[in-house]
Amino acid sequence: MAQLPDITISAEEFGKVAVLMGGDSAEREISLLSGQAVLESLQKSGVDAHAVDSQHDVLQQLANGGFNRVFIALHGRGGEDGQIQGALETLGLPYTGSGVLGSALSMDKLRCKQLWQSAELPTPAWHVLERREDLVKAIETMRFPLMIKPAREGSSIGMSKVDFAEHLDEAWVVARQYDDSVIAEEYVIGAEYTVAILDSIALPVIRLETPNTFYDFEAKYNATDTQYHCPCGLSDEAENKMQKLALRAFAAVEAKGWGRVDLMCNEKGEPWLIEVNTVPGLTSHSLVPMAAKAVGVDFNELVIRLLATSIDTESVQ
C-alpha cells in the first residue's frame, strides 16, 4: 500500500472550522453522531471547531459565523448529493471531501452505475422501477435474488433483499417511500467488502460479516454481532486488485479527498462495484476509522487528515 503523506498543517492554520451535521435527511441521527465525534476530536487537537446543525438557517449560520472552512459530516440528501457543496462554493468556504459533481454522481446510485458501465467497470445488472409495469419486466429479465433500493439514499435506508417474485411489489413500495427513483439490482452471492480511500490512497480492505439478511441499517449502526475483518482474508494479489478497482471507481465519478467504495465478491472471487460513499460515517461502528487504524492512523489523526482535504479545495473554488 502507498504511504500516506505527512500532515504539515498546524491546528491554527485551519482557522475557525464549522462542523456541519444533522440536517433533514433520513440519516440525521447518524450524522449527529458523526458530527459530534468529529467536533470533539478537532477540539482535542486544538482546532477552533464549532457545531453547525444544517437543519436551521444553515447558510445564514455559515455566512455570519466567521468560518474559514467547513468539515462536512452530513449524510444523505442535502449533505452528500452536491447541494451543500454548491452552496459552500457560492459562499467561498472551502470544505472537506468531494465537490459538487462527485457528490451528486456518487449519491445517485443509478447515474453512478450508468457511468461505471460506460467505463467498463464491473457492477451488477440492474433495472429501473418507475412504475408497476417495470416490476414485470424485472421479473422476466433479471435473476433473483434482487436488491431493491432507493436511488438516492444511504445507510441501506429503504433497501430490501427480494428472493422471490411475489415479494417484489412490497419491496418496491417500501423503497418508493424514500425516492421516486428505485432500482432493482441483481444480488451478488458472496462476501461483502469495503475500501476506504484517503488522499487518493486505498486503505486496507475490510470484509463485513453479519447474520442479518444483508448489511442493513441495523447491522451498520446497532448490532453487536456484526463482524469486521481486517486483514480481510484475501490474498495480497486479490486485495491489491480490489483496491485498484475501488480507486478507478472513485475517480470515475469525480469523487475526491476521502470516501469509501463498497463491493461484493461472487463465488468465483470476482469483485463487483456496489456504490460510493463520499461522506462515510464517523461513529463507533464506522469503517473508515477501522481501515485507518490498520495503518497506524488513530481517530484524531484521521479527522485532521480529513479536514486537510479542505485545504486542497481552496485552489479550485
Cβ atoms of 87 and 59 closer than 8 Å: yes
For the chain, what are the domain ranges? 106-122+189-293, 126-186
Please state, in angstroms and rounded to a whole number, the distance separating the CA atoms of residues 7 and 231.
Answer: 26
Full-model pTM: 0.89
Model pLDDT for residues 83-104, shown as the tens digit of each residue = 999 999 999 999 999 999 999 9
Does the domain formed by 126-186 have CATH 3.30.1490.20? yes
CATH topology of domain 106-122+189-293: D-amino Acid Aminotransferase; Chain A, domain 1 (3.30.470)
Q: Provide the pLDDT for residue 213.
A: 58
Cβ neighbours of residue 292 closer than 8 Å, sequence gap 6 or more: 196, 198, 203, 298, 299, 301, 302
Prior bond to 211 cis, omega within 30?
A: no
Q: What pLDDT is attached to residue 302?
A: 95
- For residue 284, count other CB atoms closer than 10 A to its CB: 10
For the ranges 6-20, 45-59, 199-213, 239-253, the one whose mean pLDDT is highest = 239-253
**C-alpha span between 106 and 38 (Å, rounded):** 23
What is the predicted pLDDT for the residue at 316?
44
Instruction: Give the burial string for 212-224 (b: 16+ CB within 10 Å, else e).
Output: eebbbbebbbebe
What span, in angstroms and rounded, lies between the C-alpha atoms of 161 and 78? Answer: 26
Active site residues: 27, 155, 221, 260, 262, 275, 277, 281
